[in-house]
């Protein structure tokens, strides 16, 4: 059991995912033509998150990911 402060964004991979999505949206904001295209752009930003990115965020936050080839 590891004690964490009540709000620890540095230890939360979801915070890194939101940061990635916000940066992605800023980079491609010129593609927003109207209010109806915003949800599509947000979906595209979320789809840009690869399993490798998610794994690196978890490891960066201190989670023990283990060896993905373990047991083979």
- Its pTM stands at 0.73
User: Which residues contact residue 17 at a Cβ distance below 8 angstroms, ignoring those fewer than 6 apart?
Assistant: 49, 54, 57
pLDDT at 70 over 70: no
Domain locations in the chain?
A: 33-59
User: Which residues contact residue 46 at a Cβ distance below 8 angstroms, ignoring those fewer than 6 apart?
Assistant: 21
Q: What is the pLDDT of residue 63?
A: 84
Q: What is the mean pLDDT of residues 15-39?
A: 84
Categorize the per-residue pLDDT at 36 as very low, low, confident or very high, splitting at 50, 70 and 90: low
């Amino acid at each position: 059991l590891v004690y964490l402060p009540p709000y620890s964004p540095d230890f939360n991979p979801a915070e890194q995912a939101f940061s990635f999505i916000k940066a992605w949206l800023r980079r491609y904001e010129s593609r927003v033509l109207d209010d109806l295209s915003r949800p599509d752009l947000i979906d595209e930003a979320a789809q840009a998150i690869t399993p490798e990115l998610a794994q690196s965020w978890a490891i960066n936050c201190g989670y023990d990911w283990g060896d993905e080839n373990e047991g083979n």
